[in-house]
Every structure is written in C-alpha cells, then in structure tokens.
Structure 1
Amino acid sequence: MSGAALGLEIVFVFFLALFLLHRYGDFKKQHRLVIVGTLLAWYLCFLIVFILPLDVSTTIYNRCRHAAANSSPPENNSTAIVTPVPSQHPCFKPWSYIPDGIMPIFWRVVYWTSQFLTWILLPFMQSYARSGGFSITGKIKTALIENAIYYGTYLLIFGAFLIYVAVNPRLHLEWNQLQTIGIAAANTWGLFLLVLLLGYGLVEIPRSYWNGAKRGYLLMKTYFKAAKLMTEKADAEENLEDVMEEVRKVNESIKYNHPLRKCVDTILKKCPTEYQEKMGRNMDDYEDFDEKHNTYPSEKSLVKLHKQVIYSVQRHRRTQVQWQILLEQAFYLEDVAKNETSATHQFVHTFQSPEPENRFIQYFYNPTVEWYWECLLRPWFYRILAVVLSIFSVIVVWSECTFFSTTPVLSLFAVFIQLAERTYNYIYIEIACFLSIFFLSICVYSTVFRIRVFNYYYLASHHQTDAYSLLFSGMLFCRLTPPLCLNFLGLTHMDSSISHKNTQPTAYTSVSMARKQNSLSL
C-alpha cells in the first residue's frame, strides 16, 4: 500500500474539482484556457487539504522511527541517558505510508505552482477574459496594462523597502531572505482574509442548517429572494435592451465594406439569437459607406461596446436561469407546507415534471418515502446536524484562542492528535486530521462561494458563472489554502514553531523550514 493512498487521492480530488467546476462553469461556451486554469487552481488547493492528513501520519511514524533509532544504548558507555521506546506500541508503518523524499518534492510542486497561478497567470487570464478586444494581441495588451497598474503599487512598496535596507548598514539582505519576505507577505495577506472568511463560515454554516429545519422561514426567505431576483431580472433585461439598441445603431452605420465591419460581426455573434435575426433583417449590406458625410464609431468605442455586450448577455442569461430555479424551489416548499397535514402520508406535487424520472430512484424514493423525509425526518436531521456543526465551531474558536499554550495543551485539536500519537493509531490520526481540516476548508470555501461583489464577482450554479468569477475564485483558493494549512498545523501543534519542540516537522512544513530560519537571521 506504500504510495497507493497518495495516488488514489490524487485521482479522486481531480474528479471532485472537475465535478464542482462543471456545476458552476460552462465547458461548452467558456474558453478552454479559462476552464484549465480554474480547474488547476481548484485541484491544487483541494489536493493540499486531502493529502495533508497523510503527511501528518507519515511524520508521526518517522518521529517514532527516529526515537527508536536514538534509544539504543551505546556499546562502550553504560552511563548514557537512554530514551525509552514504547514497547506496547511498536513503530509499524501506517497503511498510507509515503516513502521518504516523495512528499517534499510533491509539496514544492503543488505550492509553487499554486503561487504562480494566483499571483501571475490567473490575474493575467482574468484581465484577458474581461477584455473587449477583437484580437488576441489587443486582449494581451489590455491585460498587460491592467496588471502593470495593479502590480505597480506592490513594486513601489517593495522598492521603498529595498532602498531602506540598502541604506541601513545593520541589515544585509540576500536572495533567500527576499524569498522569505515575499512568502511571509503572501501568507500574511492570506491569514488576514482567512480570519474574515473563516469567522463568517463558523457562524453561517450551523445557522443555515438550523434555519433549514424551519419550513416557514425557508418559504418566506425564498419569497424574499424571488422579489429581489425579479428586480435584478428586470434590470438585466432593461440593460440588455439598451446595449442591443447601441449595437443596432452601430450595425446600421457600419456597412459591409467598412474596415471595422469585422469588429461589428464579432459583436453580433455575442448577441442573443433573436437580436441577431432582427438586426440581420433590418440591414442593407449593399449600401456603401460615406466617410465624409457620416460619423463612425472608433475601434476603442467598439471595444467598450463589445465588453458591455458580453457582460449584459451573461447577466441576462444568469438571471433567467436563476429565476426558473427559484420558482421551482418556491413551488416545492409550498408543496411541503401543504403535505405536512396529509393523512395519507403520500407526497403530492402540484406540478408534475414532464420529463421521465429515473425509475431506479423513483422505486426507492416513492411518494411515501418522500413524505416521511421531507415532512418528518429532514427537519430533525438538519437540527441535529446544526448542533454538531455548532460544537465543531466552538472547538475551532477555543483552539484558535489557545493554540499558543503548550504547557498545558489547551487546543483540543492538539489534544486529540497527541492522544492518538501515543498509541500510534494512524487510522484515527488521519480521520481526525481530515475531519478537522475538512471542516475548516468548508467554512472558508463555502464563504468564497457565497460572496457576491455587486455583479462583478458572483459564483452561480447551473453553469452560470462567468470566466472572470471563475478565475477570481481560483485566485482566492490559491491564496487562502496555504495559510489555512499552516493554521491547521498550528492548531494541532505539528508545527515546531508553535510546539517549541525539537521534533521532525511535516513535509509541508519542511518546505518552508529554510525560509523561517532565514527570516530569523534577518
């Protein structure tokens, strides 16, 4: 089984990231580079979360093996101090043991690839996808200008820091120390954002499940969402009409033999089908343009119009799909409210789906089972789950406030891991580590999926997320996951800088061990 668990999790996490990306993105309509970039970012972040428990169990085994090697008494020194080895629990290999040398290389590849994505590639792709240029060269130029302005501020601050170090005779800065400062700055930014997102998720996730048990609350909340979405839907339709009117004017003014006609054709391809047909019928392609008597839009104005068309069409399509989904949810919640008083214990739908349902699922999830689940069991299940998640949230808050205490150990995460480490119960260690970091990840990642920054960043399900939001989510995941893992290792006292013990660190920590030493020397 050596290395088999690592290979299985690598494959499983890939399909998990692919499934989630398929739920939010549209593989058919979005650019392949956007799909590949977002998939790689999500995949690497999820991979860290799933592989880190294996790294912890392997590290604990290596510590035991190291202690056993150093505990044998020397041949010619009978007075030497001997470190006792636990006889009841010998150092046997865990089922998921990863051979030496694999994990450090694996973490270096994953870590530096994710950092390259979040700080260089994804911002460039984000500007490229949002650009309204008509050629690859024009989009690249726009992306370079936007990123130059964005990173110019960072370079200005970094240049001022270098000047301060250069004029200070007591400081001597080397390349490794610059690397340390860059990593520390990135982790500091990620930790600051992690505190906000994690704090929101620790409260919102248990509360959402507790409120999910209240049928009346859910129905009223759905009505409120429907009223809000109706306003947004009307605004999106009005905005689309205005943009299409601008496209119609441009389409009528720029004729077939105008140099910018190719740009107009590109804009028309992004318009909905009904507008394309309407504009095609009202256009006379055989009328020559007169450059002297007519005023034609510039290429810069067409680029701006192209960007507006992409945004308005995407927003209109998203609101239409969400409106249909929200109506189905409202109708279903109304059916649940009506069936709660049913004497026959048979769930009856007001609107039957015209599509044929899966017979296998329909056989087991029949109207009787559906009634017992929706009207009787589901509210209690959600309440119990909310209580369990609330307990997890309290444990996280307590451990975050007390993880610095090593004598006595107050962090409950560290207590559980150290108890399992004494008996070398690797299965328990991996399960406890996975549940802990998985809960932390759910609190952080679910907040990323819930965030909505006006209409620029919005992760919408059912394939309605635009390229800009997908790439931005990949950037957030890559910036949040390394600080999240360092926080987890600190909570469990697996990080030697927290536990203050001269023990072998995890492979994930050893990747940054040299950088920590350099930062201390600085």
Structure 2
Amino acid sequence: MLWLSIVGFGLIAILVVRIIGFFCAFRRAPLSLLLALFAAVYIAFSIILLVPIDLATTTSDYQPLLYLPRQATFALWRIVYWLSFALTWAILPMTQAFLESGHKDRSKRMQEAIRSNARYQLVQLTLAAVGLVYFTLYAGFSITSLKAMAIALSHSYSLILSIIFLGIGVVGIPRALYNRSSSDKRLRALEELAPSLKDHQTEARMQYSDVSAEVRALTSVMDGPFELWIAELINDAQDVVPAPPLNRMQVTEEYLSTLTFRLRKCRLQYERYEYEWNQLILQAADLLDIIASRQTHELRFRMRNSKLSPKLAYFYYVWIKPLLFKIYALLTAAFSALVVMSEILESTEFSILGFLSTLLDGFQQELLSFAIVGYMCIAAYSSLAKVRIFNIFNLAPRHTDTRSAIFYATQICRMTIPLAYSYISMVPPHVQSSVFEEFLQPSINLTPLGKYFVQWLPRFILIPVLVSYFNLYHWLQQKLGFLDSFGEDEEAVGSRAEGRDLISYELNARRIRAESRQTTL
C-alpha cells in the first residue's frame, strides 16, 4: 500500500530527528546545520525501507504490503544518490566552513567557506584526473562517461569505507553486548579509561582558561570599532584573570575572527570532556553498587534513584539484565556470521541471506530485508561513531561540535549507496534486476576495472572482521602511539590502579559535597 510506505518514511524522519537531537543540542545548533544534518542522516537511514520495497516490488509475484510504483522508486534512487553526492562533496563541507568561520559578517563567512571548499575540491579533482584519463581512453570523452566516472569513483571510495566499518561493526556489536553482561568487565574498562580521560579534561580546562584570559584582556580596547563583538566574546569566556593588556593595533578583524573560532572550539571541547568525565563517574558508581550488592542481595544506587525495590533491583541488574545481554550477543553473533558469509558469497546461489530474501514473498520478504539492511546500517554506522580520529572528531550526547557532526554525517551518507548495493548484490543473479541495479550498475560496469573492483571488493570484508576479532587494530594503535587519539575509547588501556584511585577520589569528593549541602540546608 502506498500510504503505508509514506508512513514508513515519515517514521524514519522521526527517528533521524531523535538521533540528531541525542547528539546535538537543538537550542544551540544553527538551523542551517540541523537541516544539512537531517538531509544527510535521513538519506543514510532511508535505505532501511527503500531497499526492501525495491526488492519486494521487483521480485514478488504480487504487490507487497509496502509498495511504490516503479517510476517513483527510480526517482527516489536518483534523488538519494545525487543528493548524497551533493551533500558529501559540496553542501556539508561548505556548511562546515561557513559555521566555523569566526567572522561576524555573513558575506565574509561565505567567502571564506567558498575558498575553503574550492581548495577541497581542487584536491579531489587532482586525484580524479587519473580516473578521467582511464575513462576517456576506454569510453571516450562525453557527458555520459564523465557522469559514469563520477559515479564509479565515488562508489568505489565509499564501498571501501563501508566494507571496513561493516566488518568492524559485525564483530563489535556482539562483543559490546557480551561485555555489557559483565559488571566487572565494564568497571575494569572504565578504570582503564579514566586516566586518559582525566588528562584530556584537565588539558581542555587549561586551554579554555588560557583563551578566556586572552579574551578578557580585550576589555581595555572595548571602546573601539569592535565593541559589540568583544562584548560577546567576553560573555562566552570564563571568568579568569586576564592576560596582559593588548595593543589596540593588534585587535584587527582577522585577529578577532581567529580568537572567536579558538574560544568556541575550546569551550565545546571543555564541555564535552566535563560531560564524559561526569558520565564515567556515574557509570562507575552504578557498577560498584551492583558488584557490592552481590554480598547484601539488595541494590541501592548511590547516585540515582531506582523505580525497583532493593531486592528486585538486585535480581534484575545482577541476574536478568546480564542474561538478556548474553542472549542478544548470541543472536547478533549468529546474524553477523550470516552477513559476512553472504557478503563473501554474494551474487551466487550460496549467499544465504540473498537466497532467503528471494525464497519469501511480499511483506515477509520486506520484513527480512528490513532486518538485514537495518542491521548492516547499525553495524557500519555504530563502528564509525566509535572512532575518534586524533581526538578531533568525536560524537558526544548533546555536546557534539559542528566539525564532528558534519564529519560523521558525511561519512554515513557516503556509505548509503554501497551498503544498499552490498545487500542487493547478495540476491542470486537469476532474479529480476531491481530498480537500484538498473540505475547504478550501467555506470559502475562501464569499464572492466570498475566492474570487477565492485564485484570482488565486498569479499575482502573478512580482513576487517579478522582484524577486529583479534583486536589487531588496538595492538597497532599501541605500537604507533595513537591509543588515546585514534580508535575506540572503550579499548583504551591505561593504568587501572590509577583509574581506580581517580574514580574513588571523585566519588568521595561528591559525597562530601552532597553531605555539606545537606548540612547547610
């Protein structure tokens, strides 16, 4: 039914709004950022519904429950592809440069964004020159070959990205669920993480104080042409001892623009680490209470209230919840194994998930495809979200900065088409081609290089799967010294004894402050 499909896409829109709201504070985020993020994230999650509808419409003998006309499906795929192309290569980079500019004048911010994006595109065009020569020699120089080159190169790069993060994710999800079943393992991970997180928090506080002191030093030149601008900066800065007064000649528009960017960056970084440290302490307190309840058989959380009675809370958190996580881990591990096997054997009769998707008809096929594509998206997107690159990009609930939000939105939008292609390629070749294949395959298969590259690359998913399973990337990070700046924080190994002391000291300090407040009242 057409109206059910429309309702489904509407529910995805609601899900996307909630995801963006979880990571970004709506009140502080500019409207242009929210719109760009919504478009990118919505495209990334739209394939969870669009792919099942496409396959069920083209392979079922009768009209499925969720239905779109073939022309509408073709139009949607074109919109998804070209909008994602525009977002990842132009709109999102422009939005990031515009919002990160420290200039007050909108025209100057736009000029800076255009210059920044022009440099970015120049690098991309330089790298694409080799591909253009190959396509020209093979297919001739025409608008069609240029379009095919853009599709093939973009798809190949995005396919590599999606295969890596999908391979990491299908291992990471069952492992994370299994680790959550053990309070001791989770507490040990927090204790190992605490020293590095505390160091980052202290460093961020010092940087914010230093920049705030530089801003406070502008008080002596507030009567100049930049009075309102300086007043806004001082309002955003910490109340610290100002640095030595500045010479009025030093205070130029470029200087204030750079200072605005530095202050904004340091403030967001400081707030992020304060939030993460507070969350770590709250989680550690809960885990310590759960572990201690094994002796008393009653659970009372020191940092929060529970709706359950002490005995029921003990039974739930010590027995029921760990068992549920182990069951989830077992189920997702089996599903991950099926995804990897089907990816390796795609386009053959032995692709299990592809075979099952064609064995069923109508809504049953759509439901299976929905589950598979949804799991693949969650695996790829969640593994990407856990990666922190040199401590620059990071997703933190309600404290994600503009640069990080746009970076992650760009990457998941980029992985949309390859993930859809990966699942559709699992379907045995004798089945009627989907609308997606009719739209994309002619451009990808224009040259033998593009055709065989796309056919064989998904089979290399076994490499990131093995690397993730044996934790080889963690070992490599240790050897290269990237442990604190690249990778999953949950895997960070620090001094556990030091972390235990830091957590204990913080919990005691909070307890003393709470008792002091109660005494005062």
- C-alpha distance 397-323 of structure 1, shift in aligned 2 (>3 A): same
Q: What's 1:455 paired with?
A: 391
Aligned to 2:435: 507
**Cα root mean square deviation, aligned:** 2.6
How many Å separate the matches in 2 of 1:400 and 1:389? 16
- Superposition deviation, residue 110 in structure 1: 2.4
**SS of equivalent to 1:458:** coil
Matched, 1:411 2:351: yes
Match of 1:479 in 2: 414
Where do 1:76-475 residues align within 5 Å?
A: 92-159=62-129, 162=132, 171-252=139-220, 254-256=221-223, 258-272=224-238, 274=239, 295-343=249-297, 346-353=298-305, 362=307, 365-404=308-347, 406=348, 409-420=349-360, 424=361, 426-461=362-397, 463-475=398-410
- Which stretch has the larger CA shift, 469-478 or 295-304? 295-304
Kept after mapping to 1: 8 A contact 2:357/2:365: yes
Q: Distance in 2 between matches of 1:329 and 1:264?
A: 40
Distance in 2 between the 1:391 and 1:13 partners? 26
Give the 3-state SS of the residue equivalent to 2:423 in structure 1.
helix
Once the two structures are overlaid, the 10-residue window that deviates more, 45-54 or 263-272, is 263-272
* 8 A Cα contact 1:129 1:468, kept in partner: no
Letter in 1 for 2:258: K
Deviations 1:110-149 (A, max 9, x none): 2222221111100111111222222212221221121111
In the other structure, the counterpart of 2:489 is none
2:43–2:416 contact (8 Å) kept in structure 1: no
1:516 deviates by 4.9
Measure, in 2, the Cα distance between the counterparts of 1:19 and 1:416: 32
Q: CA deviation at 1:165?
A: 6.7
Cα distance per residue 1:323-346 (max 9 Å; x no partner): 222211111101100112334xx4
Q: Partner of 2:11 in structure 1? A: 12
Could you tell me how far apart the structure 2 residues matched to 1:44 and 1:368 are?
46
Amino acid at match of 1:419: L
Deviation, structure 1 residue 22: 0.7
> CA-to-partner distance for each residue in 1:475-500, whole Å, 9 max, x for gaps?
1111101111001111233xxxxx1x
Question: In structure 1, how many angstroms separate the alpha carbons of the residues matched to 2:133 and 2:200?
Answer: 50
Are residues 206 and 161 of structure 1, via their aligned partners in 2, closer, same or farther at CA, if it must alter by over 3 Å? closer
Contact 1:177 1:519 in 2 (8 A): no
1:142-166 CA distance string (max 9 Å, x none): 2112111111122234456556777
Q: Secondary structure at the match of 2:36?
A: helix
Following the alignment from structure 1 to structure 2, what is the Cα–Cα distance between the partners of residues 171 and 231?
56
Unaligned runs of 5+ in 1: 65-91, 494-498
- Partners of 1:332 and 1:133 in 2: how far apart? 45
Secondary structure of the residue that 2:415 maps to in structure 1?
helix
In structure 2, the gaps of 5 or more residues are: 451-521
| Counterpart code for 1:94 | P
Within 1, Cα distance between the matches of 2:131 and 2:284? 57
Provide Cα deviations, 1:39-86, integer angstroms capped at 9, x if missing partner. 12111211122221122111113xx3xxxxxxxxxxxxxxxxxxxxxx
Aligned to 2:516: none
Native 8 Å contact 1:448 1:473 kept in 2: yes
Task: Describe the shift of the 1:341–1:459 C-alpha distance in structure 2 as closer, same or farther (beyond 3 A).
Answer: same
CA offsets, 1:354-393, max 9 Å, x none? xxx8xxxx3xx44443222201111122122212211122
Q: CA deviation at 1:428?
A: 2.3
The residue identity in structure 2 corresponding to 1:255 is: M
CA contact (8 A) 2:151 2:444 kept: no
Report the counterpart of residue 44 of structure 1 in structure 2. Answer: 43
Alignment-mate amino acid for residue 474 of structure 1: A
* Separation of aligned partners in 2, 1:445 and 1:161: 28
Q: Report what 2:508 is aligned to.
A: none
User: In structure 1, how many angstroms separate the alpha carbons of the residues matched to 2:198 and 2:327?
Assistant: 34
| Distance in 2 (alpha carbons) for counterparts of 1:209 and 1:342 | 27
The structure where helix makes up a greater share of residues is 2
Larger Rg: 1
CA 1:301 to 1:59, structure 2 compared with 1: closer, same or farther past 3 Å? same
CA distance in 2, matches of 1:243, 1:163: 49
Aligned residues: 450
User: How big is the shift at 1:269?
Assistant: 3.8
Give me the whole-angstrom Cα distance separating, in 2, the residues matched to 1:155 and 1:47.
29
Going from structure 1 to structure 2, the CA distance change for 1:133 and 1:213 (only over 3 Å counts) comes to same
Instruction: Determine whether 1:488 maps to 2:423.
Output: yes
Q: Report SS of the residue matched to 2:369.
A: helix
- 1:79 is aligned to none
The residue identity in structure 1 corresponding to 2:33 is V
Conservation of the 8 A alpha-carbon contact between 1:176 and 1:518: no
**1:44 partner SS:** helix
Please give the per-residue CA displacement for 1:81-118, whole angstroms capped at 9, x wherever unaligned: xxxxxxxxxxx432223234221122222222222111
Residue 163 and residue 194 in structure 1: after superposition, are their counterparts in 2 closer, same or farther (change >3 A)? closer
